[in-house]
Amino acid sequence: MIEFEGVGFSYGRTMVLRDMTFTLAPGMLHILIGPSGAGKTTLLRLCHGDLEPTEGQVRFFGRPIARRNRDAIAMLRRSVGIVPRDCRFLEHLPLIENIALPLRVCGIASGNRSEDLHALLEWVDLADRVDALPDELSGSERQRAALARAVILSPEVVLADEPTGGLDRERAQRLLALLIDLSRMGKTVLIATHDEELVRTARTKAATRTLTLEAGRIETAGAAS
């Protein structure tokens, strides 16, 4: 899947991540915790090929990918879905087109996958919001839409950056349930969060591996429960 080997990353002179060696285990729900500014988003961006380590190596499906190899990075992102913190939609397109965007990018006509698309919309409970524009959606709906878009190409790995940030408890639980569903379907899921309640709930509902990020290092890894 995704392997970190002695990875370090710095923004200029500021070292953010140091000597990180771990592997995202296939089909496992990983929770990346740590205080704000600990480098969780940076680590997720490394997992998505958005950043290149300044030290060590990140291997995707067994091989490293140079950031300058833009086509290879694009192909990687079809196998590693992401739910960014700000969701990032094309604001002028309705929800259905935003969710189907990865299909379009891959040259797959959404008409050929309409059943899958419908099932996906049902799964994230947005079937009645297909024509809404992104700015007409609530925070929870935006997160679920971003999740649907992240998984529409059936990626091996799904990354989520603070997916429950700004959501109330009920909606956060609902989103967590979807992410747990994904790991049960055999997807490798990595959730970056500082929401302790989310971590506790996840641990009670699914086999979870917790990665604790502190002072730029992964302090705890591989503790499955």
Partner 1 sequence: MKVSRWFRTDPNAAGLVPTDTHVALSVGFLSVVMAFFAVLALALALGAGRLADSWQGELADAATLQVFGPADAIEEQARAALDVLRTTPGVRSVRMVDLAEQERLLEPWLGPDIPIESLPLPLLIEIETDRDRLNQASLILRLQAEAPGAVFGDHAAWRQPLLATAERLRVFAAACVALMALALAAVLGLAAHAAVAFNGAVVETLRLVGARDRFIGATFTRPLMVNAMASSLAGTAAAMALLALLPKASEQGFFLVGIGLVGWHWLLPPLVPLAAGLLAWVATGLATRQSLRRWS
Distance CA(51)–CA(63), nearest Å, equals 16
First to last CA, the chain: 21
> What x/- string results for residues 58 through 87 when contact with partner 1 is judged by CB under 8 A?
---------x--xx-xxxxxx---x-x---
Sign (positive or negative) of CA dihedral 25, 26, 29, 35:
positive
Q: Tokens standing for 61? A: 């499906």
- Which residue, 21 or 54, is less far from partner 1 as judged by CB? 54
Among 61, 69, 106, 185, which residue sits at the site for partner 1 (rule: CB under 8 A)? 106
Q: How many CA atoms lie within 13 A of 86 on its CB side?
A: 4
> What x/- string results for residues 114 through 153 when contact with partner 1 is judged by CB under 8 A?
-----------------------------------x---x
Segment contacting partner 1 (CB under 8 A): 100-108, 120-128, 137-145, 169-177?
100-108
State the DSSP string of 28-51. Answer: -EEEEE--TTSSHHHHHHHHTTSS
Q: Which residues bind partner 1 (CB under 8 A)?
A: 49-51, 67, 70-71, 73-78, 82, 84, 88-93, 101-102, 104-107, 149, 153
